[in-house]
Amino acid sequence: MIDNLSIGLTHALMAIALWRLLYRDDLDNEVSPRMLWQRRRDAEAAAEAAQEPRDA
């Protein structure tokens, strides 16, 4: 009885983990490391530009 319970419990937990992994939103977005770097660079440049005081 304990053996069947432990096997069933572990399989159920693995099935839940697989289910949650398959339905993640970020699985549909493939972003290369270069694109990530470019996005970070652009965000940093925009933040620096926003911090600079503008002359009126």
Give the tens place of pLDDT for each residue, 16-47: 999 999 888 777 777 788 988 999 999 999 99
Q: Which among 1, 22, 24 is positioned nearest to 9, based on CA atoms?
A: 1
Q: Where are the strands (E) in the chain, listed by range?
A: none
Task: Report whether pLDDT(55) > 70.
Answer: no
Instruction: Record the pTM.
Output: 0.47
**d(C-alpha 44, C-alpha 50), whole Å:** 10
